[in-house]
């Protein structure tokens, strides 16, 4: 039996929440290993809709949830989320939720700096959520972050706040934004410390014990490969690495623990925020995909940009993300279309290219080269076996497999957790 790591292969919003929730029934522990509360998963369970940002999706299944050291934690947002799902009937206690004691905190000063910077960028804005994720990761790398374990040491916290404010207040003042006092941050931390500290523990040690005991671990990625700070559409990316390799460093386990890497991809493509999007559709087809797919950001509520499936980008994500198999979601959104296009390459300044460039200017200039297939009139919504799928839908899936050089191992045909076709159980790999 293998552990499983789930990552997005596009720009996020691929339906990872449903897939992780579905896989969690086979797991014992579900681990978040990177990102912050800018990520969002929507889970539909009967008549209940759970919107999660920081909490691992496995908590909905009654599994142990883990927030690893690779996550930046906004403690106020976390407690608000815990209160919300508790009111919906979930049990979230220090026994069911483990938070790495060495995870960095997002403080009010981080969000203020994030928003001030974005406003100052003007026409060159990145499209951040303004929630402080980037500045919190900067503090981590610069070795001035306030971590959860610091909350238990008032002396340490005191001088670290001095260091942090020296940096951030200088930047905020330069941007014409309001600065912060140490007392403001101390009051903020004093309010959340009694609730947060009981959840903190040495996550790496508990996960090692679980691994030795043969317990199944599901690693739950946030965002997606094309938002990876190294491999994505830089600078229009998130502030962390999103590839499967980070599941190890972001939770404190060995690289061999990552297991089967399941990449999630929509049967078309969406993106929230700014940045290049070669297959974006500005016509009625694009609007139809958005309406049928209910394409609005879980966290931001912003409408998602929609376009055709980009096989070139996902082939790249498969290679750099170490993807073993693909979970293809929202196939039912394509029902009834006369024709469906797949991007199989690009043109850049009159030349054909087969990979996505790294330079921002070149990324903005690439034009998609399409292969068009007939659509299908039959419905795929709710299908739970290959026999229920239209022949043309099967051809579409098979063509995707050829182009991205990876098998489709799981197919989702509606938001409901049981409307899933499983070709290969990742946990049995």
Tokens matching residue 420: 């899933």
What residue ranges define each of the domains in the chain, with the CATH number in brackets?
A: 4-101+199-260 (3.40.440.10), 108-196 (1.10.300.10), 265-428 (3.90.170.10)
Maximum separation of any 2 CA atoms in the chain, in Å: 67
Q: Determine whether the annotation assigns residue 18 to a binding site.
A: yes
> In b/e form, how buried is each residue of 319-357, taking b as 16+ CB within 10 angstroms?
ebbebbbbbbbbbbbbbebeebbbbbbbeeeeeeeeebb
Half-sphere exposure of 145 (CA within 13 A, CB side): 27
Distance CA 249, CA 258 (A): 10
At 346 the pLDDT is 97
From first to last of its 429 residues, the chain has per-residue pLDDT tens of: 589 999 999 998 898 878 888 888 889 999 999 999 876 677 777 778 888 889 998 888 889 999 999 999 999 999 999 999 999 989 899 999 999 999 999 999 999 999 999 888 888 887 778 899 999 999 999 999 999 999 999 999 999 999 999 999 999 999 999 999 999 999 999 999 999 999 999 999 999 999 999 999 999 998 899 999 999 999 999 999 999 999 999 999 999 999 999 999 999 999 988 899 999 999 999 999 999 998 986 666 778 999 999 999 999 999 999 999 999 999 999 999 999 999 999 999 999 998 999 999 999 999 999 999 999 999 999 999 999 999 999 999 999 999 999 999 999 998 887 888 998 889 886
Distance CA 143, CA 174 (A): 22
Catalytic residue among 37, 41, 231, 266: 41
Q: Determine whether the annotation assigns residue 39 to a binding site.
A: yes
- Phi/psi of residue 198, each to 5°? -60, -25
Q: Determine whether the annotation assigns residue 13 to a binding site.
A: yes
Catalytic residue among 140, 168, 231, 266: 140
Half-sphere exposure of 360 (CA within 13 A, CB side): 9
Distance CA 19, CA 260 (A): 14
Q: Determine whether the annotation assigns residue 14 to a binding site.
A: yes
Distance CA 52, CA 92 (A): 13
Of all helices (H) and strands (E), which one includes residue 45?
A: strand 41-45
Q: Is 41 a catalytic residue?
A: yes
Q: Is 13 a catalytic residue?
A: yes
Q: Determine whether the annotation assigns residue 102 to a binding site.
A: no
Task: Quickly list DSSP for 146-211.
Answer: PBGGGGG-HHHHHHHHHHHHHHHHHHHHHTT-----HHHHHHHHHHHHHHHGGGEE-HHHHHHHHH
At 92 the pLDDT is 94
Distance CA 141, CA 241 (A): 13
Q: Determine whether the annotation assigns residue 132 to a binding site.
A: no
Q: Determine whether the annotation assigns residue 150 to a binding site.
A: no
Q: Determine whether the annotation assigns residue 332 to a binding site.
A: yes
End-to-end CA distance of the chain: 6
Bridge partners (DSSP) listed for residue 66: 31, 98
Q: Is 425 a catalytic residue?
A: no
Angle (CA) 79 80 85, round 5°: 95
Q: Determine whether the annotation assigns residue 271 to a binding site.
A: no
Tokens matching residue 187: 């009051």
At 300 the pLDDT is 65
Q: Determine whether the annotation assigns residue 414 to a binding site.
A: yes
Tokens matching residue 247: 């599941």
Q: Determine whether the annotation assigns residue 273 to a binding site.
A: no
> In b/e form, how buried is each residue of 242-264, taking b as 16+ CB within 10 angstroms?
bbbbbbbebbbbeeebbbbbbbb
């Amino acid at each position: 039996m293998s552990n499983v790591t789930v990552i997005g292969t596009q720009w996020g919003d691929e339906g990872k929440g449903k897939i992780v929730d579905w896989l969690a029934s086979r797991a014992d522990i579900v681990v978040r290993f990177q990102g912050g509360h800018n990520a969002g998963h929507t889970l539909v369970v009967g008549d209940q809709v759970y919107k999660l940002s920081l909490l691992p999706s496995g908590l909905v299944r009654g599994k142990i949830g883990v927030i690893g050291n690779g996550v930046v934690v906004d403690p106020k947002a976390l407690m608000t989320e815990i209160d919300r799902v508790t009111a919906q009937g979930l049990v979230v206690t220090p026994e069911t939720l483990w938070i790495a004691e060495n995870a960095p905190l997002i403080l009010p000063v981080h969000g203020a700096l994030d928003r001030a910077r974005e406003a100052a960028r003007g026409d060159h804005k990145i499209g951040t959520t303004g929630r402080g994720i980037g500045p919190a990761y900067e503090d981590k790398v610069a070795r001035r972050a306030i971590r959860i374990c610091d909350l238990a040491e008032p002396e340490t916290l005191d001088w670290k706040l001095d260091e942090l404010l020296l940096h951030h207040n200088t930047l905020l003042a330069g941007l014409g934004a309001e600065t912060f006092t140490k007392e403001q941050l101390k009051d903020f931390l004093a309010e959340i410390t009694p609730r947060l500290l009981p959840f903190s523990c040495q996550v790496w040690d508990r996960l090692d014990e679980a691994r030795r005991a043969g317990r199944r671990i599901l690693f739950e990625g946030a965002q997606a490969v094309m938002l990876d700070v190294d491999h994505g559409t830089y600078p229009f990316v998130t502030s962390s690495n999103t590839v499967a390799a980070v599941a190890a460093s972001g939770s404190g386990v060995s690289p061999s623990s990552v297991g089967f890497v399941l990449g999630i991809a929509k049967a078309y493509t969406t993106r929230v925020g700014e940045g290049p999007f070669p297959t974006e559709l500005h016509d009625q087809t694009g609007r139809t995909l958005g309406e049928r797919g209910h394409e609005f950001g879980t966290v931001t509520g912003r409408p998602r940009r929609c376009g055709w499936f980009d096989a070139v980008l996902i082939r790249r994500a498969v290679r750099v993300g170490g993807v073993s198999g693909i979970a293809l979601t929202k196939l039912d959104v394509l029902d009834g279309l006369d024709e469906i296009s797949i991007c199989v390459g690009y043109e850049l300044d009159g030349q054909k290219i087969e990979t996505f460039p790294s330079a921002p200017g070149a990324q903005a200039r690439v034009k998609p080269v399409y292969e068009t297939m007939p659509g299908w009139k039959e419905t795929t919504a709710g299908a739970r076996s290959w026999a229920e799928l239209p022949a043309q839908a099967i051809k579409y899936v098979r063509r995707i497999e050829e182009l991205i050089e990876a098998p489709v191992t799981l197919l989702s045909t509606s938001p409901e957790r049981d409307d899933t076709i499983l070709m290969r159980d990742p946990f049995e790999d």
